[in-house]
Amino acid sequence: MKAFIAANWKMNKTVSEAREFLKTFIPLVKGVSDVDIVIAPPFISLAAASEEMKGSNVQLSSQDVFWEEKGAFTGEVSPQMLLDAGCKHVIVGHSERRQYFHEDDGVVNKKIKAARKAGLDVIFCCGESLQEREAGKTFEVIQREVEKGLVDVGPDHLVVAYEPIWAIGTGKTATPEQAQEAHAFIAGMLAGVYGNKSGIIRIIYGGSVTPDNVDTLMGCKDISGALVGGASLKPDSFSRIVHFKKEK
């Protein structure tokens, strides 16, 4: 199974900055064939990024999606619009969407089903806050978010991203042991839901992934990739992450 390394630029980079990044980055990863490389720029840069990615081994993702095909939903973007802009993937359920925009598990589920119906691959995010971890509720939170988020969703074209909220943009990273423990729990849950078909679902880690810790994280048994934030904003930094070497 290929590793899956995705960049989430969040609210960073103008259209011209996105083009400049890709002109530098794409040649740095040209020879990589054993990793699915995905970049999620802001909505305004999707079309430009798609143009720059043509003929390359880098795939385009959106950071979010709405669940309706069209209509009076000011500011929202439909799955069909994302496909037309060149997207193959979409991130759904990111902790920042849950925290700042109050998206609950039901909303996340509707977005996942709409994206899959349209033919988009989904990067589904789950994870606990620091308060929930300190209260010993890590597995309880993950179980709820996975069970409710994936209601009536098949295992195909699905990547699950474990993102401990307390490690996102804080410089704190879950230890390899903490990350592996959570990933193993998710793998067990998915096996319970999908049986043998769960083996096609890659479980990736998101939470202050850097060039300095990616090799160790990728050496963990149940970690199949990474969802990278700040360290994906510079071509050389993200290229080093794509070129990880598993530590055993």
Is residue 233 predicted with pLDDT exceeding 70?
yes
User: Could you report the per-residue pLDDT of 135-161, keeping only the tens digit for each?
Assistant: 999 999 999 999 999 999 999 999 999
The pTM (predicted TM-score) of the whole model is 0.96
For the four alpha carbons of 9, 11, 15 and 17, in that order, the dihedral sign comes to negative
CB burial class (10 A; 0-12, 13-18, 19+) of residue 248?
exposed
Domains parsed from the chain with CATH numbers: 3-242 (3.20.20.70)
* Phi and psi, residue 203, nearest 5°: -110, 115
Is residue 165 predicted with pLDDT exceeding 90?
no
17 classed as catalytic: no
List 89, 94, 128, 145, catalytic entry: 94
Confidence class for position 248, pLDDT limits 50, 70, 90: low
Q: Phi/psi zone of residue 178: left (φ > 0), alpha (ψ -120 to 50 degrees), beta?
A: alpha
The answer to whether 206 and 124 are in contact (CB under 8 A) is: no
Q: List the beta bridge partners of residue 184.
A: none
**Triad 32, 62, 192: Cα angle to 5°:** 80
Is residue 183 predicted with pLDDT exceeding 70?
yes
Alpha helices in 136-213 (DSSP H): 138-149, 176-194
User: Could you report the per-residue pLDDT of 69-115, keeping only the tens digit for each?
Assistant: 999 999 999 999 999 999 999 999 999 999 999 999 999 999 999 99
List 52, 96, 103, 163, catalytic entry: 163
For tokens 């904003």, the residue is 233
Tell me, letter by letter, the H, E, C secondary structure of 16-47. Answer: HHHHHHHHHHHHHCCCCCCEEEEEECCHHHHH
157 classed as catalytic: no
In b/e form, how buried is each residue of 134-165, taking b as 16+ CB within 10 angstroms?
A: eeeebeebbeebbeebbeebebebbbbbbbbb
Q: Which of 170-179, 196-205, 209-218 has the lowest mean pLDDT?
A: 170-179
